[in-house]
Structure 1
């Protein structure tokens, strides 16, 4: 009878839609094999768990690193990272965006290792056309070695916002109108590395790396880039006609500004904008602004 057979086409359609949606989710899910290349380390960097986990290791002969397959010109990018536990003095785990060349742009997260029991230092910096010297440093309000935490960069034409677990810790605004260089013209890749910097990383180089603790290992998962991919001189966002790129105009709302103020008041330990000894001729213009 027609009435008994009529649900079959509907069920077939629903099953097809379910299969298609599962395929879309599977292909759009982040995977380190798809998104990154191991760039150095002679086997010390590893992609594990079918691409869901990436680890970097450092021993006395060498550290290791990876880089993104894609270049980006603006993006909302985050990754979950678990830092080297125990005595990590002398080590640096760097996660950053950078272009190439002497006038490169760069947006940096660097995690400076510690003696057991001391806090990690989160070091941030922004380069515009080869000019950096914009360091701000923070302690974290949790143990970054015990669990994974999310470290994010929002980079759009007007703002760069560094965030930790969704809490903004730093904002760098586009102030080209007063002569401040801002990274907006050069596409950048994502890089990460784990390396030995015991000449400066821990207490200005006073504490050296204890190689009896090696290998040192940092772990990464859940990378996500809602970003404009740069390819053949063009941006993937230029032809977008939907609202998926609303982050291109995103800025801090009043609640986020309060969170930023809380971090600065309680966890900032260095700010180049207050270091008048470093700038005897006057603070950089963005600091005055």
Structure 2
């Protein structure tokens, strides 16, 4: 595994999160400026990295759930969505990781997709056993088939980006074909069948909410735009409004997984908190050794 791309993916995701966090839930017009604070998008991703590192490169749902609980207990998680908060309170009360995840239609948010990126560097979604692990890690907080489909789409998209396929004309269809029947799959196929000419047009087709079948297809569709010109295009993603920190974070993860560290603006790197570096460094050393 290429350490440059792993590091870029995680740092890029943090940049998207911080760029969008001051504007989360806002409606256009939005004019993104300096990076803001990090939210649960980055925090839960790093908690996942820590769990994998501590498990010596193994993806263990129990270990990841324990890591989430440690971060929650030490008040290192901010901006939690309802599904994730419900699950963490269940873990805190002694619940099993496989049982505390929120169920039903309200659990179809992007809270699993936004934190799933580290698994793309270790698991192959073409293998059924690896898919089950991805599903189980999603279910810690989101016991919902749509939430799983969205998270799987991010893993598949990242694997394709690592293979330099982000700009492939059939990229969205390639992701969609790996997914179970779902609204996320349908949204990706709709984008592939009628490609929008601008990010704004794309957002009108997908929506910009926290519903996973809106935000994940938008992130996957926007990633190649951001790969072409990271800073200005990522600001454009944030300017679309809605759940813009999570959408920008997932978009930046995908673009940076292909573009590497050279894609990331140096000025933004200096604005990220130094506190995220140990978890990223340890994870990179673990998966790239």
* TM-score of the superposed pair, with normalisation by structure 1: 0.23
Structure with max Cα Rg: 1
The higher-RCO structure (CA 8 Å, 6+ apart) is: 2
- Greater fraction of residues in strand: 1
* TM-score of the superposed pair, with normalisation by structure 2: 0.23
